[in-house]
């Protein structure tokens, strides 16, 4: 009963419009007071501080800054041109280009909303001019942006690894295959939708155009090679890789492409600071909330209840996915991670579920949350850019959400899909 009461109060506070972080803090404090354990309130500052001092978390602001620099520095434009030359002739034309560009950009920023904003500014101009519907364009751009946090580097993987102690490098490698599967699923959906609506295809680009666009974008495309190659070869850690990505993006934008001006740096830094504060504050408060749950023995109670329901790991995985998808409709992905991991982690160990595999499944579920109302951040980003209302855009997103759901289920029930590459590279 205590477990249900805690989460009922938490959900109620969020429905009242109180920010997620403040809702978590208030819930924990109210129950400590109500249970006569006010002395535990002295742990608030300590737990908040200790939750944000991990070395791995330093990767978050640097990956955010790298994404902001690339969106400003002409990297996105060059990648879009190369992608257009490679796959613009397929059914769906520029819509397939958006997916291909998103896959390349995924190896640079690790943040879905940043990718949606960067690609969205280009796609909402280019696709409608060629005859694609605005709602369709906004939907495929928002959906393709969710590939970003799955293909490494990934800010959600950094957070998951920090909270669970799982190797961030292994999580990065595990995201490759599911990320490519997401791109393929979206490409199939675009193919059938484009044929049904008779959307245009571009003429096949000449080898000269492909070579020219590749040469123009090669330095941008090398970014994921440098980041992932450096991590896998042990040259630098995932945290150090974020600094390398940031420096590399700055050099490209300021000295190679010369599209980032000194005057732009203050805006880029301020946007990075704002996004970092938002994420780190949630993590800080979640550290206190997670300790509160453990102190009240909530994970043990949940394990007992789930064990009574079933001893089959597949059934337990289905329950987890259902819970994550429901939470994704009402909460931001990072908030879901920091709230549920203290509860889920002991359970996956008890039922023998691999924490790397489960991390990928959690991130995939949170990507669906980015596309679903009422709080989907990619949904709102593309709605703002395209001026398409949320509900019209939500309908257009359904085929891509179905594709992500299929990929999620495959990863949940075929561990080899996720773990093959990490095991190969160990």
Q: Please, where are the H alpha helices in 107-206?
A: 112-129, 134-145, 155-164, 168-174, 176-197
**210-225 per-position pLDDT tens digit:** 888 888 888 887 877 7
Nearest to 221 by CA among 94, 100, 89: 100
**What's the confidence (pLDDT) of residue 357?**
96
**What's the confidence (pLDDT) of residue 307?**
67
Taking the C-alpha atoms of residue 100 and residue 62, their distance in angstroms, rounded to an integer, is 24
DSSP string, 21-62: HHHHHHHHHHHHHHTT-GGGGGHHHHHHHHHT--GGGGHHHH
> Which has more confidence, 158 or 360?
360
Q: How confident is the model at residue 330 (pLDDT cuts 50, 70, 90)?
A: low
Q: How confident is the model at residue 277 (pLDDT cuts 50, 70, 90)?
A: confident
**Are 341 and 297 within 8 A, CB to CB?**
no
Question: H or E segment at 64?
Answer: helix 59-72
Taking the C-alpha atoms of residue 381 and residue 282, their distance in angstroms, rounded to an integer, is 20
**400-417 per-position pLDDT tens digit:** 999 999 999 999 999 999
Residue 245 has pLDDT above 90, yes or no: no
Q: How confident is the model at residue 96 (pLDDT cuts 50, 70, 90)?
A: confident
> Which has more confidence, 130 or 346?
346
This prediction has a pTM of 0.78
**Are 246 and 109 within 8 A, CB to CB?**
no
**18-70 per-position pLDDT tens digit:** 777 788 788 888 888 888 877 777 777 887 887 777 777 777 788 878 877 87
Residue 303 has pLDDT above 70, yes or no: no
Q: 3-state DSSP helix/strand/coil percent for the chain, to nearest 5?
A: 80, 0, 20
């Amino acid at each position: 009963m205590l477990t249900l009461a805690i989460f009922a109060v938490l959900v109620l506070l969020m429905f009242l419009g109180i920010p997620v972080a403040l809702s978590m803090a208030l819930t924990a404090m109210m129950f400590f007071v109500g249970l006569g354990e006010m002395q535990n309130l002295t742990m608030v500052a300590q737990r908040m501080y200790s939750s944000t001092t991990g070395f791995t978390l330093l990767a978050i602001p640097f990956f955010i800054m790298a994404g902001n620099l690339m969106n400003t520095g002409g990297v996105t434009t060059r990648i879009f041109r190369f992608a257009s030359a490679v796959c613009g002739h397929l059914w769906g034309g520029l819509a397939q280009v958006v997916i291909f560009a998103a896959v390349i950009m995924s190896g640079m920023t690790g943040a879905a909303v940043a990718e949606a904003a960067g690609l969205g500014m280009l796609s909402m101009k280019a696709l409608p001019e060629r005859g694609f519907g605005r709602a369709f364009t906004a939907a495929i751009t928002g959906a393709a942006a969710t590939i970003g946090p799955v293909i490494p580097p990934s800010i959600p993987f950094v957070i998951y690894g920090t909270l669970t102690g799982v190797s961030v490098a292994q999580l990065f490698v595990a995201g490759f295959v599911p990320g490519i599967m997401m791109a393929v699923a979206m490409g199939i959906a675009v193919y059938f939708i484009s044929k049904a609506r008779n959307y245009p295809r571009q003429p096949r680009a000449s080898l000269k155009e492909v070579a020219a666009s590749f040469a123009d974008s090669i330095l941008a495309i090398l970014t994921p090679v440098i980041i992932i190659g450096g991590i896998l070869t042990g040259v630098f850690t995932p945290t150090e890789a974020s600094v390398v990505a940031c420096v590399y993006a700055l050099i490209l934008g300021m000295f190679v492409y010369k599209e980032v001006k000194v005057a732009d740096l203050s805006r880029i830094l301020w946007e990075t600071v704002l996004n970092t504060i938002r994420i780190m504050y949630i993590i800080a408060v979640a550290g206190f909330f997670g300790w509160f749950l453990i102190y009240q023995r909530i994970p043990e109670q949940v394990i007992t209840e789930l064990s009574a329901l079933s001893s089959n790991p597949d059934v337990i995985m289905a329950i987890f996915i259902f819970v994550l998808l429901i939470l994704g409709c009402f909460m931001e992905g990072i908030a879901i991670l920091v709230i549920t991991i203290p509860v889920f982690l002991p359970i996956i160990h008890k039922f023998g579920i691999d924490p790397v595999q489960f991390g990928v499944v959690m991130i995939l579920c949170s990507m669906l949350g980015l596309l679903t109302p009422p709080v989907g951040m990619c949904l709102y980003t593309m709605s703002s850019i395209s001026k398409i209302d949320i509900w019209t855009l939500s309908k257009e997103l359904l085929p891509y959400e179905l594709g992500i759901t299929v990929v999620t289920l495959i990863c949940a029930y075929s561990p080899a899909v996720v773990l093959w590459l990490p095991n190969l590279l160990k």
